[in-house]
Chain A
Amino acid sequence: MTDMTNKLTAKNVDVFYGEKQALKSVSIDIQDKNVTAFIGPSGCGKSTFLRCFNRMNDVIPSARVSGEIILDGVDINSDDIDPVLLRAQVGMVFQKPNPFPKSIYDNVSYGPRIHGLAAHKDDLDAIVEDSLKKAGLWAEVADRLQDQATGLSGGQQQRLCIARAIAVNPSVLLMDEPCSALDPIATAVIEDLIEGLKSRYSIIIVTHSMQQAARVSEKTAYFHLGKLVEFGDTKQIFTNPAHEQTEAYISGKIG
């Protein structure tokens, strides 16, 4: 059964890049162990909002974030939160697979090693194997863990990045267009993986593919010009959206 408690809550979140306001008073509840899709045209603020959940906007000098982001009851923007630890708990997978130019093993073991999650080499081996299994990659790489990660196919590299995120025990996974650089088969593998992962993690996926949002998510949020226009059950959004703007966007109409 899906746990319907809220994992993340955003309250009146504004984001500015310099003078430009990219996100306007966005509030949303993200359920635990569920997939939420963020959709909307380019520049609508969906990726900006995604980056609020693990404070990735901190690394952009001109970015200013206000409002609250509550993760398990704690405001992640408060001073006593270490962004590095936060990013272990809220993992991220990017549009383009970005493995380190190291071995497959090192890619997955790097996080657990620096976070001190493994006392012995055996523990680290177990974490690497477990993470690669959860990411659906183990069978393909078990006999070549010391090979260069950059030698893997695009789809394999993306699953390696998912394994790398999983290895540090996150409870939330953020995915920013994780399949846009992949072919349909590799995309289907990732989508199937997301289906499997949602029993353990809260997943938020930003996607430009309407079909992907419809296939993988339980909840869909539609953003336009920095505002959250509509948020609801994915089935409702794609069959009978409440807002004309949402209908126009999902139907491919001129807004």
Chain B
Amino acid sequence: MQEHISTSFDNDLNDLDAMITKIGGMVQTQLNLVLNSLEVGNDEVLNTIIETDKSIDTLEHEIFDKAVEIIALRSPHAEDLRKVMIAPRIASSNERMGDLVRNIAKRVLSIHGEGHSLPLAEEIKSLGFDVLEAVTNINDAAARNDVALALKIWESDVNIDEAYDELIKSIVQLIDQKNHDAETIRHTMFIAKNIERIGDHVTTIAELIHFRVEAKMLSDERPKLGDAQQ
């Protein structure tokens, strides 16, 4: 990519890129950790996840401040402007994903704290690792401005929705079987929902990458499941 005549402007934009890469990487790590703790319920790891989420919140604020600073001091135009405008929104999506991961960690702690284990752990992990792959890929797409990859991820969210839909059916069957207490089923339901929501935030980031590169928003025609998932 062409460099700016002002080296310090390039440095500012590179700093912003690095912050976006960092927040994406933090969320990716957090999600990986929580998925690997679903069955074992490792208290130490889960509490670390909950604690680390505060750093993600802080980094989101820092990205917002950095974007405001660049707009005020550098008056970016064209692609530079789009890059600076979407940075806080990508950060915001990551912050929300971080919250959802933290919430999963709390629910896993709660289930294991009551001496129970997470039902349907394999299915939930399978959905979770599909979403983790999307998170990993969207971080790559953001770092490389890879709009083709972003679009591929955007379109494939429907697969995650489908898997989630199947998972919810299985959870409903658990209710009928009456083998699990209501609180565990409630947590399981929310864990599944949170994972699916993380996938939705990934599609938002894909849309922002598209905007940065193509200078226009994606029309809202993403393939979606029907009412069954609602």
Contact = CB atoms under 8 A, between A and B. Distances in A.
Interface string A208-232: 0011001000000000000000000
Interface string B75-115: 11111111000000000000000000000000000000000
A78 interface: no
B11 to A, nearest CB: 13
Contacts of B75: 210-211
A231 to B, nearest CB: 16
Interface stretch (A23-31, A57-65, A245-253): A245-253
A146 to B, nearest CB: 43
Nearest to A238: B77
A239 interface: yes
Nearest to A244: B2
A210 B5 CA distance: 15
Given A239-B215, A240-B215, A251 B79 contact: yes
Interface residues of A, number: 14
B3 A251 contact: no
B26 to A, nearest CB: 30
Interface string A194-213: 00000000000000001100
Interface in B192-230: 215
Q: Which of A211, A238, A251 has the most CB of B within 10 A?
A: A251
Interface in A52-110: none
B77 A253 contact: no
Contacts of B78: 238-241, 247, 250-251
Contact of B4 (A214, A239, A240, A251): A251
B177 interface: no
A214 B82 CA distance: 16
A254 interface: yes
B5 A247 contact: no
Nearest to B76: A251
Contacts of B190: none
Contacts of B4: 251-254
B15 to A, nearest CB: 17
Nearest to B81: A239
A116 to B, nearest CB: 47
A252 B5 contact: yes
Q: Which of B76, B78, B81 has the most CB of A within 10 A?
A: B78
Contacts of A238: 77-78
B9 interface: yes
A240 B213 CA distance: 10
A241 B82 CA distance: 12
Interface in A119-155: none
Given A210-B75, A211-B75, A253 B5 contact: yes
A75 B215 CA distance: 40
A238 B76 CA distance: 9
Contact of B79 (A211, A214, A247): A247
Nearest to A210: B77
A248 B81 contact: no
A239 B215 CA distance: 8
13 contacts: A210-B77, A214-B77, A238-B77, A239-B215, A247-B79, A248-B2, A250-B77, A251-B76, A251-B80, A252-B5, A253-B4, A253-B5, A254-B2
Interface of A: 210-211, 214, 238-241, 247-248, 250-254
